[in-house]
Structure 1
């Protein structure tokens, strides 16, 4: 769609920019730019700190009302913070609230020391868990996201982490919608304006250091469909939020194209790292904010609409241009069974519920490229979980695939470059 194409152009002069939009129900990538380029996570780091804290709660090694001790190292952390003093104690639930709303760096160290003994060891735990999740391009060196040249991630990895928080801990996800909390008689307000300003937004986290620019991970629900997006490297908080709102808007429109019958441009590009690893969540604990909210705020999966079984309608030319952009494809998010006899690349010209329709369209594309791609092979692989067959020419080298897509588009046929690497 035009707006997504314009978003890409608008960010072209920003060397820190990265973005990704995922349909949380179908796990389809609707937009991605620089999504696997290394970036500084800033306070998005605290999503992993919280993930490990939620694991401890689920495993009953901690409870929501359990007080955590404050060390000198934690109290000495720079702002933003709660200005805890050595010897103070802070309840686990307040720690959760302060990490999400206040993004408190002193509290991040309190949690790290409670779970890992030291922040350094906890950072190794964070990195190990990231690897287990498939966040292969992420390394943590601290629990807060404060500047460290070795603490890097990608927009894709942050999207994986955000999705896993929703899937693995639906009983705790409502915390991410908090905009304020009170402790010791003082009310702290957050600065995630999207929660108040974007209809349907219900989490997750913002982050900023000078080296990263303004980052945000956001999930929103509209008409029963959940969208998840990560934007990194914004010039300002306001411009970041405006860009995020635009990406979410366009993502909802793009995802709705799969509700009709017929053509789907980019069907169910599935990554197992975005799927749940638990058979069922633990029952939620009682007490505190969570008990007050659980009746009012359904878990994200409860509100999500199942992925459609039918096909979709033809996308616009601009959508296909975005999908087949010259930027490097997201190699880890395109899980295919392509042959590599001639190369691990191919082109996709459509997807259909009927395999015969898919083969006919792929044959038509092959006929148009017969003079230059005699070695190309027609394939109509089934998109697992989506119930559709993808019309493809495979066994190509990258350059061949990109050239083929350009030629097909020039002849009025929609096309997308795909890779199995």
Structure 2
């Protein structure tokens, strides 16, 4: 098995070197980190301000996990879909106004389906209101040292004030993994069954790149296609951040290429801890014109020419066939014993990642 894995990595590396030379053909933020040591293995534009889209939900989940740890809610707490939650734009859970699920099921739906209604429902359950929850999110971001990050909502639907960077997202994901390892299976789940519906993840690596363990994808026109992903192979544990993809194909293939470079030793590390990366103080990049505007067709064609991996007639890094994990959630229906609101906010805050990396 290990010999087969080594041969596959070696073959993939030959494809990389033959087709792309010595560095990835990419212009947008890209970051590869050793998840055990927090060493930066490769970084490009990692401090550029960027719209997170649904990568926001990494912090939404973190704040909810912190509330569970503090005892203000628990995994059996009922999370109700309010009218405000139901009114959010897709993607959504499909639950009706007034319907409830347990906090555990709500978190699975949040992470896997990236349901915006569930993000609001969790926020209202944990903190009593969305503004109070967002205040918690920003407090956590400050405690983590995420100097480029500011949240306006818990779901990531576009707002000019919702901003982060690849550097900050990597630190957030690493702290989440460190502080709440018991919840990591959520991020490696490919689908949630909810009644007759199958709510599927957009992380194609979970089913087609061996060793993928999570975490989250995101997309709005202004951000392009984003991903934070984790892989464990051959004793190595790595985390990648790719922002601003022109398509899911490009985003997923580029992420897989980053991992293969790390696994093969094609990138040997920088000797720098991820917290030592600097954020850039400037307005966030807005990709709406390239992704959803008049420039989109030409831009995507340009990106396909620059990075054709996975296109018809070209090789792909996503060739494994993996049976994705499915989680079964339960619609509790419309209940009369609603969760009392507001709840006290969690007082527990994370330690800085730097103290763990030392």
> Same-fold call, TM > 0.5?
yes
Note if 1:213 corresponds to 2:228. no
| Separation (CA, whole Å) in 1 of partners of 2:266 and 2:231 | 13
Task: Kindly indicate whether residue 25 of structure 2 is the aligned counterpart of residue 10 of structure 1.
Answer: yes
Distance 1:238 1:173 in 2: 25
Shift of 1:168: 0.3
Alignment of 1:305-320 (within 5 A): none
**Which residue of structure 1 aligns with residue 50 of structure 2?**
39
Tell me the equivalent position of 1:240. Answer: 251
The one of the two structures with greater contact order (alpha-carbon pairs below 8 A, sep at least 6) is: 2
Gaps of 5+ in 1: 258-264, 274-287, 291-332, 336-383, 386-421
Q: Output the CA distance in 2 between the equivalents of 1:189 and 1:46.
A: 16
The alpha carbon displacement at 1:255 in A equals: 8.1
Q: Provide, for residues 301-346 of structure 1, a one-character-per-residue CA deviation record: whole Å limited to 9, x for no partner.
A: xxxxxxxxxxxxxxxxxxxxxxxxxxxxxxxx9x9xxxxxxxxxxx
2:271 equivalent among 263, 267, 275:
267
Unaligned runs of 5+ in 2: 1-12, 278-325, 329-352
Query: 2: distance between equivalents of 1:241 and 1:23?
Result: 19
Aligned to 1:118: 129
Change in CA separation of 1:7 and 1:196 when aligned onto 2, cut-off 3 Å: farther
Structure 2 matches for 1:1-400, cutoff 5 A? 10-12=25-27, 17-254=28-265, 266-267=270-271, 269=273, 271=275
Tell me, in whole angstroms, the C-alpha distance in 1 between the residues paired with 2:183 and 2:274. Answer: 25
User: Secondary structure at 2:225's aligned position in 1?
Assistant: strand
Q: Which residue of 2 aligns with 1:338?
A: none
**Displacement of 1:117:** 1.8
Alpha-carbon separation, structure 1, partners of 2:24 and 2:201: 31
Structure 2 length as normaliser, TM-score?
A: 0.70
CA separation of 1:64/1:5 partners in 2, compared to 1, >3 Å: closer, same or farther? same
Q: Distance in 1 between matches of 2:81 and 2:41?
A: 43
Number of residue pairs aligned between Structure 1 and Structure 2: 269
Note if contact 1:192-1:206 (Cα within 8 Å) is conserved in structure 2.
yes
Deviation of 1:270 after TM superposition, in Å, equals: 6.1
Pair 68,267 (structure 1): closer, same or farther in 2 beyond 3 Å:
same
Change (3 A) 1:8 1:139: farther
Asked if structure 1 preserves the Cα contact closer than 8 Å seen for 2:171 and 2:275, the reply is: no
What is the root-mean-square deviation in Å for CA atoms of aligned residues? 2.7
Superposition deviation, residue 271 in structure 1: 3.5
CA shift for structure 1 position 268: 5.3
CA distance in 1, matches of 2:130, 2:253: 35
